[in-house]
Amino acid sequence: MKKNQGPTPIAVASHNNRQQAFSLIELLVVIAIIAVLAAILTPAISSVRTHVYISTTANNLRNLQTANQMYAQDNRGVYLTSKQPVFEDGRWKIDSNSHWVTYKPFTQFLDAPEPGWKSHEYLHAARTGDPDAARSTYGKSSIGLNTTGPNNTSHHGNAQSVHENAPTIHNVRNPSKAMAFADAVDYQVASNRATLYISEEKGPYGKMAIAYRYKGKATVVYYDGSIGRVAMEDITPKDAHEDFWVAMQP
């Protein structure tokens, strides 16, 4: 009677080859499944990311204009300017500590740090929600205040003129069309810089430029607090879009 000596070496080798073949096929199937899932999920993830960016930016813009409205109620109806005029020693002066992003009478209505802080980056509501831009230095990822036309309240100007020409609750002619703040690359925006932005990768863009970060459109908030998205051709040239750029009545 012969003893059972098990499978021959040839049979064992054949069995091992089949196992290796199955393992390779299984690996290729898994890789194919992962590739298909990635192809399906990548657009969805990108869409979610974009939606979060738009929502964050819109929320920041809305919060800024709500704070602006509350500030105006406390400031004799006068809205925020890039720097604030004050009447001291019998004349109007520009408050050197009144940069709007750090101006406590305004930022008190937002989630701002304690008085005395200087860094613009701490006022989260003044920053775009775009994650790519948010990784940039300040001045490239900011939300900008509209400083065009009669509401050009640059601190380089005459303080009394700034005071007299500041937008107010009573002189904004069309609050639902006049832009107050916009997604930008600077803390101010102006009509003569509205064509500078190309993309996040193709800077620098210059100062006071609106940023068209979402499918060629910029997210903005109007004086009535409503949110809009505008393309470059929707708001340029300025002369054809006075209602958007120039808040005050002529």
88-97 pLDDT per residue, tens: 787 777 777 6
H/E segment holding residue 65: helix 9-74
Q: Residues 230, 220: contact at Cβ < 8 Å?
A: yes
Q: What is the pLDDT of residue 53?
A: 77
Is residue 144, in this structure, part of any structural domain at all? yes
Is residue 133, in this structure, part of any structural domain at all? yes
Burial per residue of 2-14, b for 16 or more beta-carbon CB atoms within 10 angstroms, e otherwise: eeeeeeeeeeeee
DSSP 3-state of 88: strand
Question: Cα-Cα-Cα-Cα dihedral of 171, 172, 174, 179, to 10°?
Answer: 170
Q: What is the pLDDT of residue 61?
A: 94
Q: What is the mean pLDDT of residues 70-87?
A: 83
Is residue 67, in this structure, part of any structural domain at all? yes
Q: What is the pLDDT of residue 198?
A: 77
Is residue 54, in this structure, part of any structural domain at all? yes
Number of separate domains in the chain: 1
Residue 29 CA to residue 156 CA, distance in Å, equals: 67
Is residue 50, in this structure, part of any structural domain at all? yes
Residue 219 CA to residue 54 CA, distance in Å, equals: 8
pLDDT of 204 higher than 70: no
Q: What is the mean pLDDT of residues 150-178?
A: 72
Higher model confidence: residue 166 or residue 15? 166
Q: What is the pTM of this model?
A: 0.73
Is residue 131, in this structure, part of any structural domain at all? yes
Mean pLDDT of the chain: 76
Structural domain for 141, as ranges: 11-245
Q: In the Cβ-directed half-sphere of 72, how many Cα atoms lie within 13 Å?
A: 21
Higher model confidence: residue 236 or residue 248? 236
Is residue 6, in this structure, part of any structural domain at all? no
pLDDT of 49 higher than 80: no
Residue 100 CA to residue 212 CA, distance in Å, equals: 23
Q: What is the pLDDT of residue 155?
A: 42
Q: What is the pLDDT of residue 178?
A: 94
pLDDT band (50, 70, 90) for residue 181: very high
pLDDT band (50, 70, 90) for residue 66: very high
State how beta strands 188-189 and 143-146 pair.
Answer: parallel
Is residue 1, in this structure, part of any structural domain at all? no
